Amino acid sequence: MSKGSVCLAYSGGLDTSIILAWLIEQGYDVVCFCADVGQEEDFERAKEKAVKIGAKKCYVEDLKKEFIEEQCWTAIQCNAVYENVYLLGTSLARPVIARKQIEIAKKEGCIAVSHGCTGKGNDQVRFELAFYALQPSIKVIAPWRDPTFYERFAGRAALLDYAAEKGIPVTSTKAAPWSMDENLAHCSYEAGILEDPDITPPEHMWKLTIDPMKAPDKPEDFTLEFSKGIPTKLTMEEGGKKKTITDAVELFLAVNAIAKRNGVGRIDIVENRFIGIKSRGCYETPGLTCLRSAHIDLEGLTLDREVRALRDQFVTFNYSKILYNGLYFSPEREFLSSSITASQIHINGTVRCRAYKGTFAVLGRSSSSEKLYDMSESSMDEIGDFAPSETGGFIGVQAIRLKKYGSMKSEAGERM
């Protein structure tokens, strides 16, 4: 008799294909779920493969629009970044995937959900915390934490041998067994030879972006418009003609394409995983790199200094950490999301951009509605509304405590 139905997050790759076969061996009926978050994948082939292996059903859900509008736009609004360099491409996709998986599990009457995340990584935490928040009573089957599974499949070589034995087609090989995760915003690479942090990634590994040294010799210029911190319009040249894009997914894809062909968005880092292990990861995040940088620049023109300081110090840091650690469906994330929205009311304007041989640069920025920047006030060539003589009093007040501190140090014979 069946032990019940399980909804498996399925990619069609090596790990989840083996897990599908293993779950069936354990006596479960399996419903597979493929999330389309913009990765280059043959979903029909993955669906056919799942059914051939033995899945009762396989859902393919297009989540690109909500991924961009709910996750990527908010990340841009708060300039989300983890450890000053990682733009959270994997983390951003997990909430929409987990939410849809729980919806399908409920629809199919599943007693459990399952995933192919390793027992040492962040994604197991991200998915499972989301599952429990969305359906507190759900059971989670995590094969890579189950001794009966990981002792049988001690590494990727064992998985590949099992796949060959069972006639399960896979694209991974023993010669290049690194793990990849791709979505519309990025592609990540880890494991295999990449586990040695001193080994340079092979050039053929990179999937999304051209080598910056092989990128076109001519810069590519484009213009981005923002409304309340959200990208709303892209103006670019295509075939010698000006083209305008306003649809969220199309805009993101177009900026992605610009960045990809100009080699923008590669990083290679050692990061701190939530569970306490350091990990080496290589990431390509082309379009999001450009969009975030343009947004940061526009805030210099339109965002109040103290609001920006509070947002940077509290909201950006904590929102990024919450995303990375898998706490998206939490009260603290909801609170921070409200703060992000409030901080972006006046972030309206246009940024002229350039992508060139692995770099992104801002050529200029403007805003017709936000007046925090006053050219005459800051000009060296005219007095404007601000009289330079007023600065003397400001400096004098700021110096009061410094004079006291300097006197104290001097009396104590201490050098400053």
C-alpha span between 308 and 291 (Å, rounded): 18
Single out the catalytic residue among 11, 91, 94, 280.
94
C-alpha span between 39 and 101 (Å, rounded): 17
Radius of gyration of the chain (CA): 25
Single out the catalytic residue among 11, 29, 91, 123.
123
- Give just the sign of the alpha carbon dihedral 17, 20, 23, 27: negative
Report residue 233 as tokens. Answer: 């319009």
* Beta-bridge mates of residue 124: none
Note if 227 is an active site residue: no
Number of Cβ within 10 Å of residue 358's Cβ equals 17
C-alpha span between 74 and 333 (Å, rounded): 12
DSSP 143: G
Contacts 24+ apart (CB under 8 A), 129-134: 129/326, 129/327, 129/329, 130/94, 130/95, 130/98, 130/99, 130/102, 130/326, 130/328, 130/329, 131/98, 131/101, 131/102, 133/329, 133/330, 134/98, 134/99, 134/102, 134/329
Q: Is 324 left (phi over 0), alpha (psi -120 to 50) or beta?
A: alpha
Note if 94 is an active site residue: yes
3 state SS of 349: strand
Single out the catalytic residue among 114, 172, 179, 343.
179
C-alpha span between 324 and 90 (Å, rounded): 9
Note if 123 is an active site residue: yes
Q: Nearest Cα to 80, choosing from 69, 67, 89?
A: 89
Note if 305 is an active site residue: no
Known catalytic residues are 15, 94, 123, 179
